[in-house]
Chains A and B, each alone.
Chain A
Amino acid sequence: MKIPCRLLAAALVSLCLVAPARAHITPPVVLVSDRDAVVSLLAGARRFFVREVRLTAAEKQAIRQQTGWTPEDDFYRFYIGRDDQGRVVAATVFLTEFTIHGPVRVAVALGPDGKVKGATVVELTEETYPWVKPLLDRNFTREYVGRDARGTFAVSAGGGESMAQFYGQVVASLIQRAAALYETGVIKRGDAA
């Protein structure tokens, strides 16, 4: 079959338009960038540090017993904010739970005493966003401020919406995990100062 030149040109134009289109990924909804989350959660800090921690098997076991969750990442990264005198203002860690509807990622700020200072949902998915939005609108993560890893991290979505309840609990559990990680991987090692 002989293909006319105009048709070949049209094929090439179509190719240019759609060529990279297959590099696609179903996109989660990113509510805030990592940098903005760190700046917001470490308010008052003048200098910023990264502390990366690999957990021992015993530390992983301790966290599992405390939270029911087993840390599996190769290492965990804490962004640490210090004041002008070098004292720790707070540390922020990002944790993700992979649900059937995609990832839910939370940034959690912890004080040097291991207590929650704040938390921000930084990423979820188009599907979960409508369920979580009512909780975000009422800034429900404030309820966990001041609690440490041994605290209660339950959520009340206000009744009626079971998916909101479910995802609220996912976020609450991530906050508790962050507190347990900081306590085990930083405070108990004597690295919180």
Chain B
Amino acid sequence: MMNGWQLSRLPLSAKVFCTLFLVGIGCGALAAFVQASTAVGLSPTAVEASLAREMPMTQMQMHHGQMSGEKEITLGEISSAAKVWIRTPLLIQTSHTHLFGQTLIAGLLGLIFLFASVRESIKTLIVALPFVGTLLDIGGMWLTRFVSPSLSVLVIAGGTLFALGYALITVIALYDLWLRKERLA
């Protein structure tokens, strides 16, 4: 409850609005799931393969000052996967669109959730999840590329936090909107 406002007391039009918004975001998340699985992959290893900087295959890897190197390879060493390799300019594009987009989604989810009938401490925790998840998600991409490939786990963790926040907000909000019984004073 916030200043006497509760989801359960909203007029029907507002309840329908909130419900359809939450459902729509859920559908978008499922579409993003499919997109991520096909374009990048859903494991830290797959994220690392798409985001980490390209390393030399030759002895240049060991001798940074070396100007050239050559070695024989088999065709099996060349990537056969039609996977996206995200280079820095694409990372910049992705960051700017997704930071705006995900933050707006997190903001609208949070706005609905502010009127849920949940203890303030729990509300504070849950409402922060999509925001923190977004920052971890996008920040993890940059850290994977420029600090350590092993930090690709942050991208998965960020996505999981965002999804956890969405799931909790949606379930609690839908319960409040349609199932919560008003307590008579």
Residue pair A77, B82 in contact (C-beta under 8 Å)? no
Q: Does B160 contact A (CB under 8 A)?
A: yes
Please report the total number of B residues contacting A with Cβ < 8 Å: 68
Partner of A21, one of B33, B66, B84, B168: B33
Can you list 18 A-B pairs, Cβ within 8 angstroms, ordered by A? A7-B172, A11-B167, A14-B171, A15-B160, A18-B163, A19-B163, A20-B163, A21-B29, A22-B102, A22-B133, A24-B35, A27-B35, A33-B81, A38-B75, A39-B75, A49-B72, A52-B69, A103-B90
Can you name the residue of chain B whose Cβ is closest to the Cβ of A39?
Answer: B75
Contacting B at CB under 8 A, from A1-48, are 1, 3-4, 7-8, 10-12, 14-15, 17-28, 30, 32-36, 38-39, 47-48
Q: Does B26 contact A (CB under 8 A)?
A: yes
Known contacts A11-B167, A38-B75, A52-B57; is-contact A20 B70 (Cβ 8 Å): no
Residue pair B35, A20 in contact (C-beta under 8 Å)? no
Interchain CA distance A56-B78 in the complex, whole Å = 27
* A53 surroundings in chain B (CB, below 8 A): 67-68
Interchain CA distance A17-B33 in the complex, whole Å = 8
Q: Does B114 contact A (CB under 8 A)?
A: no
Residue pair B70, A51 in contact (C-beta under 8 Å)? yes
Can you name the residue of chain A whose Cβ is closest to the Cβ of B170?
Answer: A14
* A185 surroundings in chain B (CB, below 8 A): 68
Partner of B84, one of A30, A32, A51: A30
Contact residues of B: prevailing secondary structure: helix
Interchain CA distance A103-B33 in the complex, whole Å = 22
Known contacts A1-B117, A35-B79; is-contact A22 B93 (Cβ 8 Å): no
Q: Does B42 contact A (CB under 8 A)?
A: yes
Interchain CA distance A179-B68 in the complex, whole Å = 18
Known contacts A14-B171, A18-B167, A48-B73; is-contact A1 B118 (Cβ 8 Å): yes
Residue pair A102, B159 in contact (C-beta under 8 Å)? no
Interchain CA distance A32-B82 in the complex, whole Å = 6
Contact-residue bracket for chain A: 35 or more
Q: Does A64 contact B (CB under 8 A)?
A: no
Residue pair B163, A21 in contact (C-beta under 8 Å)? yes
Partner of A22, one of B39, B50, B74, B158: B158
Contacting A at CB under 8 A, from B107-142, are 116-119, 122, 133-134, 137
Contacting B at CB under 8 A, from A88-114, are 96, 98, 102-103
* A52 surroundings in chain B (CB, below 8 A): 56-58, 60, 68-70
- Shortest CB–CB separation between residue A69 and chain B, in angstroms? 14
* B39 surroundings in chain A (CB, below 8 A): 24-25, 27
Interchain CA distance A132-B87 in the complex, whole Å = 22
Known contacts A18-B29, A77-B57, A103-B89; is-contact A25 B74 (Cβ 8 Å): no
Q: Does B40 contact A (CB under 8 A)?
A: yes
* B162 surroundings in chain A (CB, below 8 A): 22
Residue pair B93, A102 in contact (C-beta under 8 Å)? yes
Residue pair B69, A35 in contact (C-beta under 8 Å)? no
Contacting B at CB under 8 A, from A43-91, are 47-54, 56, 75, 77, 79-80
Starting from the known contacts A23-B137, A23-B159, A25-B84, 17 additional A-B residue pairs (CB-CB under 8 Å) come to A1-B118, A3-B172, A14-B170, A14-B171, A15-B160, A18-B166, A20-B37, A20-B159, A22-B32, A23-B155, A24-B33, A26-B93, A30-B82, A53-B68, A98-B93, A102-B93, A103-B89
